[in-house]
Structure 1
Amino acid sequence: MQLRIQTRLFLGFTLLSSILVSSSGYLYFSQTSKDLLDRVEETNMQQLYRYQEALDHIVQDMDRISAQVIYSTDIKNYLIEVNETDSSSFLSFTKRKKYEDLLASFNGPWFIASQINLISLSGFFLTYGKNMSILPDIEQRIEKVHWIKEALQLEGEKLLITPRINEWQENQELFFSLVRSFNFPPALTPAVVEIQQPYELLSETMELGQNKESQAKVFVIDDSGKQFYPNKKENKEQPEIPKLSGKVTEIKGAKSNESDIWIKLRSDYSGLTILIQQPKSVVMEPIIRLQKMTWLLGILGECISLVIAYILSAGIASPIRYLQTRLDKLSLDNMNISTTKKLRNTKEIASLYSTFEDMRTRLNDSLTEVLQAQKRENLAHLQAMYAQMNPHFLFNTLTSMASFAEESGFPEHARISQKLSNMLRYATQSVNNSVSLKQEIRYTIDYLELMQFRYEGQFSYTLLVDSSFDNEPVPKFLLQPLVENSFTHGFQQARPPWEIELSVESNEVNGYWLIRIKDNGSGFSNAAFKETQDLIQELNNGQIRQLDNLSAQGLGHIGIVNTLTRCHLFWNGQVQFTLNNLSRGMEFTISIRREA
């Protein structure tokens, strides 16, 4: 598309200012966003270090108590003896009380641990803490607990167990625990010590320093990916914790298009990883507010730039536009008298004016010569027209022949001559005008009756037309080419008698009216049927084939392609075509949507 010089200059100035504004804004926001994310990362890392220190302190207290228990000679001897004595005797009860007091000394008067449990695979269980009640089926519960075997495999190393419901007491409170195994010889029954802490202690620790209005979430997991905090049973809508490759990772949400920023820190002592999740939209909210303000200022600056660009481009293009106006007013009548005022804005424009004057003079001389040549050519055409045969001569001759045949006792020949005269008169009218369906059918009937005369009774036709459609406008030469197709192709390989049925009817279901042509010939060949179906499919889909060649075909070359394409253009696409090969012959249907 060609643009005016003013438009080009205006777009150039506008594009330059837009690039400067957008690039500077992009660089500014990119750097500002990076700085903000760095500050958020630094703040969250400081919070993570505080969480790590608090968690390590809790685990250290639990680990210290567990170490005192497993390295206590008295505790080890007691676990060995308890398998050899009767647990129901008074002596056994006295010893049990003694070692409960020993566990109390490890725990201290302030209950550093909520509960200390000694567990043997033989079914022995000794506890000390805030809850001294034990469930009666303790031996069966010891057999079902899977983490005891995991602790025994670590051979004395600590094992942190995720929060869960207490297996040993009747209360249903959540606990997390640290477990160590005793280093007994293989011949002795394995045993472990479990140090329990309530989940509330973990929850209170992780909530310290949190802003209640912040949307940041804190998670704690172990090396196997099991979640320590928050407990999944408390909140069913917790997100799936991703596996992070670095300390800071941006991850797109699985159920939304928003991204979250994850920051993690792992404690080498406890083996726990602390993560903070923040929605990126919340983190970037200050930048977004600043971005909106900057965009408003940028739009204002862009508007001012547009005004300046328009003034500059108009000042440069105004002389050229004046020359264009003068050129538009130039015509054959004033070619030799048209003048242009001299403009001296720039040297280039003055030179352009001088060139225009020279061009006008030469063009005036050339047009004079062309007009003389055109007069001579028109005279030659006029002479050729006089040499052509007047169509009325043919009409009058056929009419005279019909009258002569009627007077001579040949009424059939007179009728045929009259039909041929009617067809010739119809065909010599303008092909660009539409006709009524009644006129087109009358022309087609004339053709069919001529074919009946030609084939001497071997051909017949049936006409079923709803008279309510007589005045429907249709393109000229719509029906006759389609009917002629039956003689050209359908009847060549079929034995007479031949029949053609032409019907016009209404389809009340979908608001269409139908033109249907049916014959009893041999139908379309496979190649012709496929080619015609392809054409119909294209037209039904709104595609027009060889549109630039339609006007060049002429009446003598109108075939199915041109006929159907003319129908599609005439009814503005509100038409559908259907072609079917029957057991004998073919059926072609044109469906036209009726206007409301």
Structure 2
Amino acid sequence: MLKKVKFQSKMIFFHIVMVLFVSAALMGIFYRYVVDAITERTNDDFEVIATSVADRLDNHLYNMDKTALQIAANPNIVSVFQKVDQEPDSNFFIREPLIASEVIKLLNSYNFKKDGYARICLYNDDQDFVCTATTVTTATGTEAYFSGEEYAKIRDFFRQEDSFVCFVPPQNDVLNDTGLSEKMYFSVVRQIKDYSSNSLKCGYVEVQEFAERLDEMFYGIGKDINSVILTDEGEAVYRSFGSESGRTESRLEAMIQMASEGRLSDGDKSVPGRYVCSRKLRNAPFTILFEKPENVLMEPLAQFNRLMILGMLLILITAIVTEILIVRKLSKPLTELNRSIKMISLEHFRMDIAGYESSDELVQIKNAFNAVLSRMKESVEQQYAAETNELKSHLFALQSQMNPHFLYNILAIISMESQADGNEKVENICSRLCKMLRFTSSMEDGFCTMEREVENAVNYMELMKERYEDLFEYEVHMDQALSDVRIPKLMIQPVCENCFKHSFKNTEPVWKIRLLVYAEDGKWFIKVHDNGTGFAEAYLEEFGRMKENLTFKNVRESLEQISIGGLCIPNIYMRLMICYDRNFECRLYNDEEGAVVLLGGELE
């Protein structure tokens, strides 16, 4: 396989392989270093994001608790709830709208300092309820809240000792039962009491916030990061999915189970293909668990891989270009030697190497080679003379190979006409036939003038007109300036005969032949046009293959294989090739009327 590869290509190939091997080794070491650095930095960035989100949530819960504590310890609020009439069947603040108005005004001063919360609710165990809110609160919703389990959990929580603040995870908003909103909320609850003595517990302050605020906090951490908020008991109270929620939910469930069992820590990779980071809130009994697929976490590494591939391509291209330039420089003397050898021909039978006269090795090769060429030139000249004589012999033989079927037909005509006494056609037929026989039997050097060639073709078509009478017509148009141009003999008459043998065979009369002789672009042209069936596609393909495969070297073998029945077009083509080498025209094609044969050669 390598024996067929050029010397320059081998040098370039082996040097490039060496460059690639060294480059790959260095790139591998550098790649390992960069991968470790990117991995460490990406993990650090992920943990920074997790810490930032956890701190934001922690601060928000702290502010909610701070607001609840300020309201619960406000003396005016404590005083109002200490004076509330204990009537379980009715809401004190509905019965006392002036007091309710003052309380709401006080609550608004807390709720609308900045953005405000969803609701700030004040209530007690006697179901006395008042609130300020940015959303709808209904009376039936309030009744449903006091009869629900969420209120019972808050009440039971504060009945325990050392219970100061209750964090309610996200849940449905039962206080709004209009059906127009399905928002969820989370809240912080404090007891209304005298905090100086930690006594006189008389109600609750609940600061509620929509769960949409959680969505806003977790939205900015990245579309591929999944997160979940867990209670200290391991219960998931909030989940935020990335762009692959369907495929990550099962993984989150596994992580929640591991976290509840205390088997999950920061940077844990016990589940392949994901990275975990958890943060415990300082001001609330919650833990936030963050999870991100490892392939997404390593996305910067994918970009680095693309840069590495681009760098390798640039190195490869640079190496190839550099190697080509170096190899060409080093092998230029050999290229010049090869070029000089290719320029050797019969007209230039000598090797010249320009620009390398100072190179002893090339000068010695040139002198030795020229000595061999000198001896070869003598042998070639002798062989060329022999080949020329042999080709002339074949040319003369080709001229003598006429289809005898034509002569048989003409003799039959003469025989029939001679039986009719007084028929003047006989003399005309015999005269033209005699001219044709004299033309074909005169060998000379195988050439004749254009005028004599056209005259011979006209004699043939006149004889055919005598035979077919009104069934055949012809016309001849010749540029008289070409009368003395010498061309190979028997170029036109065989083509005209071919029209009767093939084109007119399956065509109804009147048959027509149009002969054009003209000059163009330094060449003479002969165009024979008939109104027959035209050339078959198979024959045109076969003729095209013959032209492609025929060379000056194998023309002799092709001539020997041609039989008497197949002399027309191949015969003419090979004679033109012998006489004009490749500077001739021989085209066959069909047009809207019939077949066209175009022949041509150089005027000189």
**Normalised by the size of structure 1, how large is the TM-score?**
0.44
Bigger radius of gyration: 2
**Normalised by the size of structure 2, how large is the TM-score?**
0.43
